[in-house]
Homo-oligomer: A and B are copies of this chain.
Amino acid sequence: MHTNRKKGSAEIISIGDELLIGQVINSNASWMGEQLFLNGISLDRVTTIGDDEQQLHSAIDSALERVQFIFLTGGLGPTSDDITKPSLCNYFNVPLVFHQDAYDQVEALFARRGMQVSERNKQQAMLPANCTAVANNNGTAPGMWFETGDAIIVSMPGVPFEMKPMFSEQVIPLIKQKFTTSHYKFKTVMTTGVGESMLADRIKQWETSLPDNFKLAYLPQPGIVRLRVGGQSDDAASLMKQLNEQVTSLCSLIPEYVYGFDNQSLEEVVAKKLTEKGLTIATAESCTGGYISHLFTSIPGSSAYFKGSVVAYSNDIKTELLNVRKETLEQKGAVSEEVAKEMAEGLLGRFNTDFAISTTGIAGPDGGTAEKPVGTVWIGIATKTSCYAQRFQLGEQRDRNIRRSALTALNMLRLCLIS
């Protein structure tokens, strides 16, 4: 019995050469991490190793010193580079024996598919003598459940559509039945239009006064900072109440930056508002080059509120399709308040929508001047009764400038829609 072993904690050991050379991203571990988290089991570590017996033995040894639940994925297929099963036999010093229940499962699966069980598949019912088979309803390799002292080791296939149902429908329920687990709840607050450091300054006092069972994490992405508030407790009901209170007081400190919750995208939030209000929109894009249009049209059903876009990369198109005046372009330059406004107004006239958004800026890397450096962006919004434009100074990288310009435009529109 290991005295340092942390009760209710878990580690994942992901097995496969393909994970180490960048051929496959380890999305299994991330998905399992979320499932464990949502079930109140703390995942302490993920170890990714190649198809190597010694590495596997040493990874299991050290995991057993630390945690109670160990999950292996990978290395269970019918081909010769799959090493998990023989390695586990050697680890526990037990032989492979025929497991009737595992065989019945495979046979049932093949029967459903109208196929005969092959000799190679029969071999898959040969499992280490000390394990219990875990049914695989989506493939031929059964999972294996081992108990050693007060710890368990569960080995599962690496193929996601076999592993996921096995894990959530069988392994997790069995753990909850056999062990007591604590409650963890969290909520993610989505913010835009503000950097990590400025946010940190604004919410410092709230953050330091968080109760001990609560934790805040900053999760930045280009143009967006996610704030994850999470807490742990033995009492699920009071935890939920506490969490809601904390999130409410956090949001009240930064109302102008909070656009949504729990990984909602900004375009989804704006799309929902437009749909609710029965309003339509179109975009006139120069520096964003169609990216705002792409964001809207990535959402299923967007044709209800999104009418289309003119990507006016050349000045001719700005004049021809958006009615921007030649004099404005000559006197003020394409990247200017006036052109942003004329683009939005011209578009509104053409597309006859409730809103028109325009962008014109210098995405880079070239084209900057002392007065209008790379990252200068004007964003315009026109409605049937008003038109205005705002200047933003973004960064130096083209792809990030495009992304941030688009998010900034969406946020301006969001603020219009809730005002």
Contact = CB atoms under 8 A, between A and B. Distances in A.
Interface stretch (A16-24, A87-95, A233-241, A382-390): A16-24
Contacts of A31: 22
A400 B302 CA distance: 16
Interface string A1-37: 0000000000000000111111111110111111111
B300 A289 contact: no
A116 to B, nearest CB: 12
Interface in A289-331: 289-294, 296-298, 300-303, 306-314, 316-317, 320-321
Interface string A209-229: 000000111111010001010
A366 interface: yes
Interface string A28-62: 01111111110000011111111100010001001
Nearest to A221: B159
A218 B78 CA distance: 10
Count copies of this chain in the complex: 2
Interface string A256-270: 000000000000000
Contacts of A33: 19-22
A313 B320 contact: no
Given A159-B220, A161-B400, A311-B308, A393 B78 contact: no
Contacts of A218: 77, 79, 81
Contacts of A277: none
Given A320-B350, A351-B317, A373-B114, A21 B37 contact: yes
